[in-house]
Amino acid sequence: GDSVTQMEGPVTLSEEAFLTINCTYTATGYPSLFWYVQYPGEGLQLLLKATKADDKGSNKGFEATYRKETTSFHLEKGSVQVSDSAVYFCALSSGEYSSASKIIFGSGTRLSIRP
């Protein structure tokens, strides 16, 4: 079945460092891909998404490109801040995303940024 694999954490970086969190997926068809973020004490929030190959999702300085050839959707940010400390989840939605589509999550990567 469909699945998502992301790098294990925790990841600890200094402020202003470059961030990459790897994510690869296995899916039949053409899934939509997502990155969700969970800040301490809060619910998951959609960070960015891409719905087709070569699409780039971006938000709050974060970017991820849908790479069909490598089945990857790596999350990157050029200069992280302390406020980016959170748990990041890579996810996919099988087939065309609709109001009833199932979302499959990776295991999450905890990111901690040192001042």
Partner 1 sequence: GAVVSQHPSRVICKSGTSVKIECRSLDFQATTMFWYRQFPKKSLMLMATSNEGSKATYEQGVEKDKFLINHASLTLSTLTVTSAHPEDSSFYICSARENYKEFFGPGTRLTVL
98 binds partner 1 (CB under 8 A): yes
Q: Which residue from 28, 70, 100, 115 is in contact with partner 1, where contact means CB under 8 A?
A: 100
Provide the minimum distance between the beta carbon of 54 and partner 1 in the complex, in angstroms, as a whole number: 21
Are 19 and 42 spatial neighbours (Cβ–Cβ below 8 Å)? Answer: no
Q: Which residue from 69, 106, 111, 113 is in contact with partner 1, where contact means CB under 8 A?
A: 106
Interactions with partner 1, residue window 42-61 (CB under 8 A): 42-46
115, exposed or middle or buried, with CB in 10 Å at 0-12, 13-18, 19+?
exposed
By CB under 8 A, how many residues form the interface with partner 1? 20
Provide the minimum distance between the beta carbon of 61 and partner 1 in the complex, in angstroms, as a whole number: 19
11 binds partner 1 (CB under 8 A): no
107 binds partner 1 (CB under 8 A): yes
Tell me the C-alpha distance between 76 and 65, whole Å. Answer: 9
56, 53, 82: which is closest to 67 by C-alpha? Answer: 53
Dihedral class, residue 99 (left if φ above 0, else alpha if ψ from -120 to 50, else beta): alpha
Element (H, E) at 9: none
28 binds partner 1 (CB under 8 A): no
